[in-house]
């Protein structure tokens, strides 16, 4: 088996018992991470929630909400030590495939203007900026805007 195949991630639906490990990745990746309740609520709401694994190692996670013909990306995170190896792009491609399977025609997301790596990943996947939400994100004492992006699926 080639090195590439050995390192190819698999995507498995997130389960409640994954949340501890997901939170560890989340807390290592963001200054304002999602909470346990955010993930538990997402699972309880039936959102499309995924673990990205290499063998038994959890390397990332993603959560998306599917509403009629729209997909809303809520969270995509790759563990710091696994970043910049293509897993974020593969995770997004998995979400695109799942969204299309459920009849979504367009995917939307919000990203911090300060998040250059996220914006670069999204642009590379075809997302375009369609707007801005003022004061959308917590940012210490203040708030940070969100850039709203979308792509046709």
Ligand X SMILES: CC(C)(COP(=O)(O)OP(=O)(O)OC[C@H]1O[C@@H](n2cnc3c(N)ncnc32)[C@H](O)[C@@H]1OP(=O)(O)O)[C@@H](O)C(=O)NCCC(=O)NCCS
Ramachandran angles phi, psi of 23, nearest 5°: -65, -35
148 burial type by CB count under 10 A (0-12 exposed, 13-18 middle, 19+ buried): middle
Nearest residue (beta carbon) to ligand X? 88
Question: Out of 7, 37, 117, 133, which residue is the one contacting ligand X (CB under 6 A)?
Answer: 117
Q: Which is catalytic among the residues 17, 81, 120, 122?
A: 122
Question: What SS3 class is residue 113?
Answer: coil
Among residues 107, 118, 137, 147, the one that binds ligand X under rule CB under 6 A: 118
Q: Which of 17, 30, 81, 110 is catalytic?
A: 110
Q: Is 136 a catalytic residue?
A: no
By CB under 6 A, residue 120 contacts ligand X: yes
| Site map 61..90 versus ligand X, x via CB under 6 A | ---------------xxx----xxxxxxx-
Q: Which residues pair with 111 in a beta bridge?
A: 147
How far is 58 from 72, CA to CA, in rounded Å?
23
Residues 51 and 130: their CA atoms lie apart, in Å, by: 28
> Which of residues 16 and 113 has its CB atom nearest to ligand X in the complex?
113
124 binds ligand X per the rule CB under 6 A:
yes
Q: Which helix (H) or strand (E) segment is 59 a member of? A: strand 57-67
Q: Is residue 122 annotated as part of the catalytic site, yes or no?
A: yes
Binding site for ligand X (CB under 6 A): 29-30, 76-78, 83-89, 111, 115-118, 120-121, 124
């Amino acid at each position: 088996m080639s090195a590439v195949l050995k390192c190819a991630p698999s995507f498995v639906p997130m389960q409640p018992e994954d949340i501890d490990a997901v939170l560890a990745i989340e807390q290592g990746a963001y200054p304002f991470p999602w909470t346990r309740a955010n993930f538990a609520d997402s699972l309880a709401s039936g959102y499309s929630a995924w673990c990205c694994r290499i063998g038994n190692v959890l390397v990332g996670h993603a959560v998306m909400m599917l509403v009629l013909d729209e997909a809303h990306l809520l969270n995509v995170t790759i563990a710091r030590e696994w970043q910049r190896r293509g897993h974020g792009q593969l995770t997004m491609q998995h979400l695109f495939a799942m969204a299309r399977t459920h009849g979504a025609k367009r995917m939307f997301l919000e990203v911090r203007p300060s998040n250059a790596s996220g914006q670069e990943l999204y642009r590379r996947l075809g997302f375009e900026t369609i707007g801005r939400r003022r004061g959308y994100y917590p940012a210490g004492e203040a708030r940070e805007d969100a850039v709203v992006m979308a792509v046709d699926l």
